[in-house]
Amino acid sequence: MTLTASPAPAEQLPPPATGPVGRWPGLPAWQRTVVVVVGALAVMSLVRVISGANGLTSQGTIGAALRLAVPIGMAGLGGIFAERVGIVNIGLEGMMVLGTWFGAYGAYEFGPWWGLLLGVAGGALGGLLHAIATVTFNVDHIISGVAINIVGPGLARFLSVIAYDAESGGSATQSPRRSGEIADITVPGISSGLKSLEDRHWFFVSDVAGVVRGLTTSVSLATIAAAVILVAASFLLWRTRFGLRLRAIGENPYSAESLGVPVLRIKYGGVVLSGMCAGFGGAFLSIVLASIYREGQTGGKGFIGLATMIFGNWRPGGLAAGALLFGYSDGLQLRASSAVPALFLLAAILCALVAAVDVARKRFVAASIVSAAGAMFLIGYLTVDELADSLSYLTPYVVTLVVLATSSQRLRPPAAEGQPYRRGEAH
């Protein structure tokens, strides 16, 4: 007799696998990005029309945002490289300080492009010190990062005394002015052709013209180099064997070790790359955004870079969006401080949109909290006509706190981040 298995009843069969529910999750990533960008620009245009703050989307504000986003984005990229191999790097600020000093020194002695290279080398030095402490000697990552943040400014002051005290225009706290400039480019026809359209202040159309002009007018070659580095980093992390190994180590170094991956060597590489990116951001500060090195020049941008990395969920694409956001808030208070109160209205509208989404998803507690915040922003817009300069200066830091507070629910850091690793001691 031959026994055959009878098929399971239909009600016992597992339900068929289904794809993403709804149209939005099913759209390709680039289409969702376009929708978000167009929607954000439409909201900003609405705020501009209501408030009369034409500086919100002007060519000057967008251009300043692009320049100011570079050091923040490069610091955040440095954080990605370090934390993707499991090393917490809060020493980005100190590495940026080394980048500012070595970059300014190289620009003063040899020219601006050599200054950028020396700034990268200075940041790499800080990354190497952090790697020796955390990878080789298993020093607590936070303690090592704090030490780098202390050593960086101290070493810069020591080197300034040696190199600049006898130089004209130099001192223990600043360098002489560099010689030479890094060229910038303007796309022919676009900047001049769209100026009249921007000046008409039409809804959405003039805002698009202002944004395009800001992205195509007097763009430094160093800014373009930073964009190329960001794209190359994304390719390296997600399309190469080295990137796969680097990310695998950040998730489980012992599993990677069992597959023959040289964990210690790649950890060193990731942390040194982290310092190089931070050094580039620091050199950009002292060469492109300024013509000299000044003590305290970084102004906490290394820490804002860390916040940008977290906002971007440890991915270069999200990092770029976060850097532009923080650069925009910084550029707005520099180029159009009178438009800063309009950000209250923008925040109120965004809170209303988020609350509507929460209600649709039946998250009523979250919707209530967001609605209360939106009401506070609306009251602020209706009652505040002008912010003092000292308060406008705080704009990027307030934006940093708000973004971190609202994005914390969707974050997924590398699983082995901050955990000690000793070769051959799997547990």
SS3 296: coil
The average pLDDT across 261-270 equals: 96
- Average pLDDT over the chain reads 87
Q: What is the model's pLDDT at position 2?
A: 47
- Closest listed residue to residue 116, CA positions, set 330, 323, 326, 289: 289
Q: What is the model's pLDDT at position 404?
A: 66
Q: How far apart are CA 126 and CA 150, in angstroms?
A: 11
The average pLDDT across 286-292 equals: 93
Judged on CB neighbours under 10 Å (0-12, 13-18, 19+), 72 is buried
The average pLDDT across 338-345 equals: 82
DSSP of 162-227: HHHTTSTT--SSBPPPP-S---EE--TTHHHHHHHHHHTT-TTHHHHHHHHHHHHSSEEHHHHHHH
Burial 142-160 (b: 16+ CB within 10 A, else e): eebbebbbebbbebbeebb
Angle at CA of residue 198, ends 197 and 202, nearest 5°: 80
- Centroid of chain to Cα 347: 20
* CATH code of domain 54-333: 1.10.3470
- pLDDT by residue (tens digit) across 2-52? 444 444 444 444 454 444 445 766 778 778 888 888 998 999 999 999 988
Least confident of 25-34, 220-229, 238-247, 362-371: 25-34
Least confident of 89-98, 120-129, 138-147, 302-311: 302-311
Least confident of 122-131, 135-144, 209-218, 346-355: 346-355
Residue 219 forms beta bridges with which residues?
185
Q: What is the model's pLDDT at position 410?
A: 66
> Residue 281: pLDDT above 70?
yes
Q: What is the model's pLDDT at position 13?
A: 45
> Residue 142: pLDDT above 80?
yes
Confidence of residue 278 (pLDDT cuts 50, 70, 90): very high
The average pLDDT across 356-369 equals: 86
> Residue 311: pLDDT above 80?
yes
Confidence of residue 340 (pLDDT cuts 50, 70, 90): confident
- Closest listed residue to residue 266, CA positions, set 421, 73, 77, 411: 421
> Residue 138: pLDDT above 70?
yes
Q: How far apart are CA 405 and CA 385, in angstroms?
A: 27
Domain boundaries, given as residue ranges, for the chain: 54-333
User: Would you state the structure tokens that stand for residue 73, as one six-digit string?
Assistant: 């984005």
Confidence of residue 395 (pLDDT cuts 50, 70, 90): confident
Q: What is the model's pLDDT at position 140?
A: 95
Cβ 282 vs Cβ 298: under 8 Å: yes
Contacts of 418 (CB under 8 A, 6+ apart): 86, 87, 88, 141
The average pLDDT across 175-200 equals: 88
Angle at CA of residue 17, ends 13 and 19, nearest 5°: 160
